[in-house]
Amino acid sequence: MVKYGRKSVMQQIKHAVDLYLFKAGLQEQLNKREQLALWNEIAGKQIIRHSRPLAIKKNKLFVEVTDSTWLFHLTMLKPRIIEEFNRAAGFKAISDIKFFNADFHSRLAREREETNALFKTNEGLCNEDENAYIEPGEEEVIDNAVLLSPEPFQPRLRSLLIKSALYQKRQQTK
């Protein structure tokens, strides 16, 4: 007898979504994104501030670091990071890590300036008043969330998240 309960329907939906992702060639990309998100679990706050994972290709994790000091430090920790990363993934997701020096903080600052300029031109959407502003802690959370998205989407995602946060704050004050 076939059951049409909630669980079987959900399993059918999951199967359909998995099949679509596989046929569209997106399943592997989704898996890689999930694996990149593991960096935040294993790296720790200090390392996260000075590094960001970019991609996993052929079992090699590519990570940007802010300066040569962090590049050296993370290179020394590489075996431990690989071990912890694979343990968190539940399988041997990576066999090597390539760290390289890139000043992504200045790129974020540039994008922040572009976003602020956008807000000044769209005063109707994001009128900065005393009731609605982004606090430094909130801005850091937004920046960390933006770093998880693909680089071409980061400026627009940052803008969208800030607009959303400001909108929610204005709604709470009404």
What are the residue ranges spanned by the domains of the chain? 12-101, 104-173
* Model confidence at 1: pLDDT above 60: no
> Tell me, what's the pLDDT at 29?
75
**Structural contact between residues 53 and 39, judged by C-beta atoms closer than 8 angstroms:** yes
**CA 24/CA 39 separation, integer angstroms:** 26
List Cα–Cα distances, 86 to 89, 92, 150, in angstroms. 5, 5, 22
Query: For 38-97, what is each residue's pLDDT tens digit?
Result: 998 898 889 988 898 988 889 999 999 988 899 999 999 999 999 999 999 899 989 999
pLDDT tens per residue, range 2-32:
455 556 777 777 777 777 777 777 777 777 8
Task: Identify the pLDDT of residue 167.
Answer: 82
Residue 151 predicted with pLDDT over 70: yes
Tokens of 49: 């501030």
Rounded distance between C-alpha atoms, residue 174 and residue 155, angstroms: 29
Q: What is the pLDDT of residue 130?
A: 45
Report yes or no: 97 and 63 within 8 Å, Cβ to Cβ.
yes
Average pLDDT over residues 145-164: 81
* Record: fold of 12-101: GMP Synthetase; Chain A, domain 3 (3.30.300)
